[in-house]
Amino acid sequence: MVLVGGGAIAPGDLDLALALGPTAAAADGGAMALLEHGVIPKAVIGDLDSLPRDVAARIPAGRIHHVPEQDSTDLQKCLARIDAPFVIGIGFLGARFDHSLAACHAIAMHDRPCLLLGSDDVVFHAAGALSLDLARGTRVSVFPMRPVTARSRGLEWPLDGIEFSPGERIGTSNMANGPVRIEPDGAGLLVLLPRSEIDAALAGLMARSDEPGQS
């Protein structure tokens, strides 16, 4: 499923996402981008503080889900309620940096595969062992949203034995020596790849979602 947020969306990104996942939902004001593109969202989820009434009136009855509590972001509300094996999120990275950080926090709190597409990067949560078919020299960054350790194969600087933690140790600008395998020992490790590697990221995440015991 494609999930559209209310942030900046680069030209062509919506077409790219919809070609990968033809079913679309919106997080609050993200519905405007879908309607402008001629797509009626299957669902709109959020606190609805960014959804104008005239926009809401164009969405069929029963598709708007108001979640008024303010202890979670709209992306968190969506990920907790969407029943889909895979989510591609656009409109969550870029523009306001606090919103980008909140989106990274949200995907790290869920083990359902979710890839965020930005103008320069793709970001996703390595909630379990992950294989990525990358060319030598590809930038691979890992960023911990909580303390976590991991093992790796195919990286210029292996992750083995490193205790990653926010505010202490992160893994910016590592480099692939070819296909990469990352095996976190727990949840909370985000992987950032160049936008050009979206196919490799999707293949790795989809293969993981097909493994027994994964949602």
Q: Report the 3 state secondary structure along 23-57.
A: CEEEECCHHHHHHHCCCCCCCEEECCCCCCHHHHC
Task: Confirm if 143 and 170 have CB atoms less than 8 A apart.
Answer: yes
| Single-letter residue type at 133 | D
What's the pLDDT tens digit per position in 30-44?
Answer: 999 999 999 999 999
Final residue of a structural domain among 80, 100, 119: 119
Length of the chain: 215
What's the pLDDT tens digit per position in 144-201?
Answer: 999 999 999 999 999 999 999 998 999 999 999 999 999 999 999 999 999 999 999 9
Final residue of a structural domain among 52, 87, 119: 119
Q: What is the pLDDT of residue 213?
A: 47
What's the pLDDT tens digit per position in 56-76?
Answer: 999 999 999 999 888 889 999
**CB contact set of 82 (below 8 Å; sequence gap of 6+):** 1, 3, 25, 43, 45, 112
Domains identified in the chain, total number: 2
What's the pLDDT tens digit per position in 91-115?
Answer: 999 778 898 999 999 999 887 789 9
Final residue of a structural domain among 119, 144, 164: 119
141 shares a domain with 90: no
What 3-state class would DSSP assign to 108? helix
Neighbours of 133 (CB within 10 A): 17
CATH of the domain at 37: 3.40.50.10240
Q: Name the pLDDT band for 133 (thresholds 50, 70, 90).
A: very high
93 shares a domain with 149: no
133 shares a domain with 112: no
108 shares a domain with 32: yes
91 shares a domain with 195: no
Q: What is the pLDDT of residue 22?
A: 82
Give the range of the structural domain holding residue 153, as residue numbers without chain letter. 125-215
Q: What is the pLDDT of residue 211?
A: 52
Give, for 104, the enclosing helix (H) or strand (E): helix 97-108
62 shares a domain with 99: yes
| Tokens read off for 87 | 């989510």
91 shares a domain with 1: yes
158 shares a domain with 189: yes
**Closest by Cα among 74, 29, 25 to 55:** 29
114 shares a domain with 213: no
